[in-house]
Amino acid sequence: MHLIGVVITDPKDWTASALMKNVRKRGAKALPFNLAALSVSMSTSDFSIFNADLKDQKFDAILVRDVGISFALEQISFKFDLLRQFEHSNIPVLNSPAAIQNAANKFFSFYLFRLAHLPIPHTVITSELKVALKAIEKYGCAVTKPIFGCQGEGIIKLDSTLPESELASKLTELLKERGVLYVQEFVPNPGRDIRVFVVGEEALGAIYRVSCKGAFVCNLSQGGTPVKCELTEEMEELAIRAAKAVDADFAGVDLIESEKGLYLLEVNATPSGKGIKLACGIDVTERIVDLLSM
């Protein structure tokens, strides 16, 4: 019987549960584990990754649902080093640690999108207050985001009509907190974005994420509502190219509608499948598990 490890942080997470259910439906054993619970022992002649639950388990493959949020550099680095070590032991890891890191880094992912000639909003990344202020003046309306962030946390909308002293004060506070500013033109939109789910080289479906009243962030974790979206050829093409740009085997690709057409906002390489299941009845975790050779 094949043993598939499922990297989780929340045992009650819908997507984690669905992944494990679909692994078991295919006659394999699913073993959930948290990277934060793993330890390493090494010497010149020995290397082992262990905890009380894993012991000497030998995985045939690993599915990564969630690595977890950490602002401690050493902890998050150690988690990705563990995933890389599994890869070095010839254990398939989906998504790969490189793909997850590519997607999670908003600066580097945008650089990869640019290389792939994908449509992205104009963005400035800087540690200089004057440069950030000039960008906001140019855009008229902008959003600032953490370069590493998730679930719509820490996204702030800034308007150039605010007094410069007020803008400078807010940006200075963010600079102290983050060390760098990620300033992006705000894309006027219908109060929603689009998430397309890609598995392998196929777009399985899409949902609108409709923001709650008075909000501009559409993430479901921020109160957004999932609504079925008819997948167009343009959405499908952009989403597949975006997932490929970060080297993801599966992904949630976020697009936004504008007067100039669709823009690519980001790729999530550890996406939740709950929203598209609720809105469209599509269980993307079935197809994710199908990527494994069992």
pLDDT digit string, tens, across residues 139-148: 999 999 999 8
- For residue 100, pLDDT over 90 is answered with yes
> CB under 8 Å to 93, separation ≥6 — which residues?
61, 62, 64, 83, 86, 87
- CATH number of the domain bearing residue 169: 3.30.1490.20
**198 and 157 in a common domain:** no
Mean pLDDT of 188-201: 91
pLDDT for 212 equals 62
Buried b / exposed e along 63-80 (16+ C-beta atoms within 10 A): bbbbbeeeeeeeebeebb
**229 and 157 in a common domain:** no
Where does the pLDDT of residue 110 fall: very low under 50, low under 70, confident under 90, or very high at 90 and above? very high
- Identify whether 249 is part of a domain: yes
pLDDT for 224 equals 66
Domain of 91? 3-97
E strands, 136-249, are 141-145, 156-159, 181-185, 192-199, 202-210, 225-229
Mean pLDDT of 168-180: 93
pLDDT for 225 equals 82
- How many distinct structural domains can be found in the chain? 3
pLDDT digit string (tens) for 245-274?
Answer: 999 999 999 999 998 999 999 999 999 999
Mean pLDDT of 103-113: 97
Backbone angles phi, psi at 157, to 5 degrees: -100, 130
Tokens 């490890």, located at residue = 5
**72 and 10 in a common domain:** yes
pLDDT for 173 equals 93
pLDDT for 154 equals 77
- Identify whether 278 is part of a domain: yes
**168 and 212 in a common domain:** no
Task: Say if residue 229 is exposed, middle or buried (CB neighbours under 10 Å; 0-12, 13-18, 19+).
Answer: buried
> CB under 8 Å to 137, separation ≥6 — which residues?
160
**261 and 196 in a common domain:** yes
pLDDT digit string (tens) for 51-65?
Answer: 766 566 689 999 999
Kindly report whether the peptide bond that precedes residue 51 is cis, defined as omega within 30 degrees of 0.
Answer: no
pLDDT digit string (tens) for 125-144?
Answer: 999 999 999 999 999 999 99
E strands, the chain, are 3-7, 29-33, 39-42, 47-50, 61-64, 93-94, 123-126, 141-145, 156-159, 181-185, 192-199, 202-210, 225-229, 250-258, 261-268
- Identify whether 26 is part of a domain: yes
Q: Which of 73-87, 170-184, 204-218, 224-238 has the lowest mean pLDDT?
A: 204-218
Listed residues 97, 115, 146: the one ending a domain: 97
Listed residues 97, 113, 142: the one ending a domain: 97
E strands, 127-249, are 141-145, 156-159, 181-185, 192-199, 202-210, 225-229
pLDDT for 144 equals 93
- Identify whether 256 is part of a domain: yes
**217 and 166 in a common domain:** no
**212 and 197 in a common domain:** yes
> CB under 8 Å to 259, separation ≥6 — which residues?
188
